Amino acid sequence: MEELEITEEMRQKYCNEDPNHCPFCGSDNISGGPIDGYDICATRNIKCNDCEAEWTEQFELLEINNAFRDK
């Protein structure tokens, strides 16, 4: 298996602009596995079905809001 380098430019574009396209080939033919969560972080493995690159998304809890309770 060939290790691919994710550059800072690729990371910024993917995270801040376009997480729906492969950061390597630009394809929108990507699929993600289930989100695995622990504490305040979660991860998900993603695969491009065109160039077969694989990467892991990482999520962090930022805040909570809009709490309700039935009376």
Quick one: pLDDT at residue 38? 80
pLDDT tens for the chain, 71 residues long, are: 789 999 999 999 999 999 999 999 999 999 999 999 888 899 999 999 999 999 999 999 888 888 888 88
Instruction: Report the phi/psi class of residue 34: left, alpha or beta, with left for phi > 0 and alpha for psi in -120 to 50.
Output: beta
Reading the block at residue 57, the tokens are: 């998304």
Name the domain count of the chain. 1
Quick one: pLDDT at residue 57? 95
Quick one: pLDDT at residue 40? 86
Does the residue 35 lie in any domain?
A: yes
Does the residue 1 lie in any domain?
A: no
Quick one: pLDDT at residue 1? 79
Domain of residue 23 covers 8-60
